[in-house]
Amino acid sequence: MNRDTSLRKGDSLELYTPHQPELIIVPTPEQVDQIAAQHVIEQVLGKQDLVLILPTGNTPIGMYDIIANAYAQGAVSFSKARIFNLDEYWPLPWGHPDSYFRYMQERFYTRTDIDSERYHIPHSHVNDPEFEAYLYETLLQKYGPADLAVVGIGPGLTCHIGFNEKGSAADSRTRLVELSEETIAENKKHFSRPEDMPRTALTMGIANILATKRVILLAKGEGKAAGIQRTLEGGIGADAPASFLRFHPNATFIMDRGATHLLSIKP
Ligand code: PGA
């Protein structure tokens, strides 16, 4: 396996010591949206030039709506913030309606004052994905470590974060990955033409996520319950990439009742 264990700017040996994540469990998915949005808004109000890592998917849709409303009411500005997306499909034509770039355009970029120079997402249409991964990693190193990463968790027992599927190492960085069959089956449903769904993607790595100062994982619904149980109560390892968040000294899991109903220890 190609493992690059060298420490980079912002990395800390402390990241490889287990910590108990903070667990916030609320009754409804709407409350997850509310608390997640509040965290993002408070952080950007506290530091205008916040560097943020953001997810796509179903889970954060409500969070983005609340943030967009807060912006519309003049309660927050992203004009000095910088945003990196966790991942993007590859290959897809530029601006494909089901690309994560389009998702972010529709849900966040065009609904706030973030400048187009200040948001970054791997390019889905490039010919050379390895070079694109290198460029994205270079940008992350230049502006990182990020202040805050918001991540979701993959379906079932994939326990992926970003597109770091099973087998992803704690020291993995931005790269081209093969999507698991479970991820493909789930995400295909969201494509207007399921046959367009690529089998590969560009994702930042586990080490990029662990290098951020604060990580928030969002999980909603019973479909996430087995993955959350594995992530929080199983061993820390590459068979459940989200479990690596337990190496982070400042990780918070914001979850609804559905996503936590299999946890044996309720905080
Ligand atoms: P979801 O995806 O929010 O659509 O459940 C999360 C993920 O795959 O990371």
pLDDT tens string 195-234? 999 999 999 999 999 999 999 999 999 999 999 999 999 9
pLDDT (0 to 100) of residue 97: 96
Sign of CA dihedral 133, 100, 63, 151: negative
Q: How many whole angstroms separate alpha carbon 223 and alpha carbon 258?
A: 8
- The rounded Å distance from CA 14 to ligand 1 centre is 28
| Residue minimizing CA distance to atom 2 of ligand 1 | 57
145 preceded by a cis bond (ω within 30 of 0): yes
Q: How far apart are CA 139 and CA 120, in angstroms?
A: 9
CA of 234 to the centre of ligand 1 (A): 21
For the stretch 63-73, pLDDT in tens is 999 999 999 99
Q: Which residues contact 154 (CB under 8 A, 6 or more apart)?
A: 160, 161, 165, 182, 183, 186, 227, 242
Q: Tell me the β-bridge partners of 256.
A: 26
User: Number of helices (H) and strands (E), helices first, in the chain?
Assistant: 8, 10
Average pLDDT of the segment spanning 247-251? 96
pLDDT band of residue 266 (cuts 50, 70, 90) is low
The answer for residues whose C-beta is within 8 angstroms of residue 105's C-beta and 6 or more apart is none
Task: Work out which ligand 1 atom sits closest to the CA atom of 158.
Answer: 8
Is ligand 1 within 6 A of the CB of residue 198? no
Q: Tell me, using a 6 A CB cutoff, whether residue 56 lines ligand 1.
A: no
Q: 135 alpha carbon to ligand 1 midpoint, in Å?
A: 25
What is the pLDDT averaged over residues 3-16? 47
- Terminal CA-to-CA distance of the chain, rounded, Å? 38
Residues in the chain: 267
Q: Check if 158 has its Cβ closer than 6 Å to any atom of ligand 1.
A: no
Which pair of structure tokens corresponds to residue 64?
A: 């983005």
Q: What is the pLDDT of residue 267?
A: 57
pTM for the predicted model, two decimal places: 0.94
* Tens-digit pLDDT profile for residues 150-182: 999 999 999 999 999 999 999 999 999 999 999
